[in-house]
């Protein structure tokens, strides 16, 4: 694996597809009974048929046996985690409907794959009277400064979350590092917080450089040129010295997030992929516990949280990047609270997704054909795709398979299929999806 390209793609858009064609035979599914001997990828068809539910999104409401199943699991859990491949329009639409139906159960918080500074910005944009216009204007002025929520469907998801929340609430929890293209936003804020002319002069030097870094990146096709990839330790020392020991709390927070994000990106670009992912996972957990403790103090009860992250992050146990990520923390914390977490692997079986990256500039990537088998080669999702409904969304409950897998009663399963069964509680297959839409 090209670790640098793979890992950066997860930071930038988390959309990395290989060119293979899915055999049409994998989609054939009969509602007639099958014998126990019939198998898909080693999983008996009878067992798969007994573990599946179907659902549909009807005018913003989830309906069907699959909806009942998911909402029942949400009610029994403290944390509900959605793992996705980014750039698919139906996933935020599904998430919006799910949050609105879970909100009366006490799910008042939505954890997202952005930094905490960016989450504050997104909250402000989503709170505008004409939020869609506010998002559009922001992205026009700051192209690709915010990951994922520069897609219209994702912005609509944030509006749905805020509309379902209590007035004045702060439901968005940004757990990730600050995005590689976001530094201009943060230096602009630091300019307003600078305590004196000397500090403003120092900050303005960096701000002026970040004003044009997007264009430099696009022209050079090199994301490593931007500040959060190319900065040096001395740059942060210079900024910290400019603000002095009595720096405002908000400035201190911004400088910490910028420096930590730079460290994570710098490790990645230098080839230290494991170290980068480990620090990133640690930062997510640090951010999560900060939000969690604050909500616990305010609400008096353990908060219930819906997560939506790339599927790598929400797995229980060791992740596919060999670190113990935010998904594992949620599982362990819920169990310690005498509750549980529910981890849902969402995949688009066919259709298109938005895989556009500005430093590549391939317009066709805005509607890139999905090759699900290649995209999810780390999980081997072929048995579930084969058994899924051809028209409706299908949910498979993986948990009843675990005792059989432990007792070696499932025959010869691919190692990646076993890993999927242990790491996630359910798989949601969307048979046909479409690409998310960028704001112009």
Q: What are the tens digits of pLDDT across the range 245-295?
A: 888 899 999 999 999 999 999 999 999 999 999 999 999 999 999 999 999
d(CA 414, CA 419) in angstroms, rounded, equals: 9
Q: What is the mean pLDDT of residues 307-319?
A: 97
pTM score: 0.89
Confidence grade of residue 45 (pLDDT, cut at 50, 70, 90) = low
Res 409: pLDDT: 86
pLDDT tens, 135-163? Answer: 999 999 999 999 999 999 999 999 999 99
The residue behind tokens 């976001």 is 182
11, pLDDT greater than 90 = no
Average pLDDT of the chain? 89
Residue 290 near residue 333, CB atoms below 8 Å: no
164, pLDDT greater than 70 = yes
Residue 201: partners with Cβ closer than 8 Å, 6 or more residues away = none
Indicate the range of 5-14, 81-90, 307-316, 408-417 predicted with least confidence: 5-14
pLDDT tens, 170-225? Answer: 899 999 999 999 999 999 999 999 999 999 999 999 999 998 888 989 999 999 99
Confidence grade of residue 44 (pLDDT, cut at 50, 70, 90) = low
380, pLDDT greater than 90 = no
Per-domain boundaries in the chain = 14-177+282-430
- Write the Ramachandran bin of 103: left for phi over 0, alpha for psi from -120 to 50, otherwise beta: alpha
d(CA 275, CA 272) in angstroms, rounded, equals: 6
Res 39: pLDDT: 52
- Write the Ramachandran bin of 256: left for phi over 0, alpha for psi from -120 to 50, otherwise beta: alpha
**What percent of the chain lies above the pLDDT cut of 90?**
80
CB atoms within 10 A of CB 437: 16
Res 249: pLDDT: 93
Q: What is the mean pLDDT of residues 316-340?
A: 97
Q: How far is CA 205 from CA 53, 197, 198, 326, in A?
A: 57, 12, 11, 36
Res 383: pLDDT: 87
Confidence grade of residue 29 (pLDDT, cut at 50, 70, 90) = very low
Q: How far is CA 312 from CA 83, 85, 164, 206, 316, in A?
A: 7, 9, 28, 33, 10
360, pLDDT greater than 60 = yes
Closest CA to 35 of 19, 20, 47: 47
Q: How far is CA 415 from CA 11, 116, 285, in A?
A: 27, 36, 28
Q: What is the mean pLDDT of residues 8-32?
A: 32
227, pLDDT greater than 80 = yes
How are strands ordered across the β-sheet holding 52-58?
Answer: 61-63, 52-58, 393-397, 426-430, 341-348, 79-84, 304-310, 107-112, 172-174
Cross-strand partners of 308: 82, 112
341, pLDDT greater than 70 = yes
Closest CA to 375 of 48, 55, 88, 43: 88
Q: What is the mean pLDDT of residues 382-405?
A: 94
């Amino acid at each position: 694996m090209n670790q640098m390209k793979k890992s950066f793609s997860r930071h930038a858009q988390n959309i990395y597809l290989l060119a293979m064609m899915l055999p049409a035979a994998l989609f054939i599914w009969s509602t007639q009974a099958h014998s126990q001997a019939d198998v898909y990828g080693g999983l008996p068809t009878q067992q798969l048929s007994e573990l599946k539910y179907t659902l549909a999104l009807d005018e913003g409401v989830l309906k069907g046996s699959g909806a009942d199943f998911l909402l029942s699991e949400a009610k029994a859990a403290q944390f509900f985690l959605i793992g996705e491949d980014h750039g698919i329009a139906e996933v935020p639409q599904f998430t919006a409907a799910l949050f609105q139906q879970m909100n009366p159960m006490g799910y008042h918080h939505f954890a997202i794959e952005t930094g905490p500074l960016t989450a504050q910005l997104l909250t402000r944009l989503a709170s505008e009277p004409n939020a869609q216009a506010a998002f559009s204007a922001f992205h026009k002025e700051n192209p690709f400064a915010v990951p994922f929520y520069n897609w219209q469907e994702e912005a609509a998801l944030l509006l749905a979350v805020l509309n379902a929340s209590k007035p004045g609430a702060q439901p968005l929890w940004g757990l990730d590092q600050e995005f590689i293209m976001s530094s201009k936003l943060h230096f602009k804020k630091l300019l307003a917080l600078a305590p004196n002319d000397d500090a403003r002069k120092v900050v303005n030097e960096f701000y002026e450089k970040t004003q044009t870094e997007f264009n430099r990146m696009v022209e050079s096709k090199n994301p490593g040129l931007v500040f959060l990839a190319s900065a040096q330790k001395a740059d942060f020392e210079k900024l910290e010295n400019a603000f002095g020991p009595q720096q405002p709390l908000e400035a201190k927070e911004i400088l910490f997030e910028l420096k930590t994000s730079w460290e994570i990106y710098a490790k990645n670009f230098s080839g230290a992929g494991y170290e980068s992912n480990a620090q990133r996972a640690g930062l997510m957990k640090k951010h999560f516990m900060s939000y969690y403790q604050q909500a616990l103090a305010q609400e008096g009860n353990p908060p219930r949280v819906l997560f939506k992250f790339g599927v790598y992050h929400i797995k229980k146990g060791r992740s596919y990047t060999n670190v113990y990520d935010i998904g594992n923390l949620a599982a362990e914390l819920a169990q310690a609270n005498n509750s549980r977490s529910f981890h849902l692997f969402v995949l688009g079986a066919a259709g298109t997704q938005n895989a556009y990256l500005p430093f590549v500039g391939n317009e066709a990537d805005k509607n890139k054909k999905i090759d699900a088998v290649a995209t999810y080669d780390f999980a081997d999702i072929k048995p579930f795709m084969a058994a899924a409904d051809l028209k409706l969304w299908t949910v498979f409950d993986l948990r009843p398979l675990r005792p059989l897998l432990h007792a070696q009663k499932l025959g010869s399963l691919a190692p990646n299929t076993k890993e999927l069964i242990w790491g996630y509680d359910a798989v949601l297959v969307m048979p046909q999806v479409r690409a998310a839409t960028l704001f112009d």
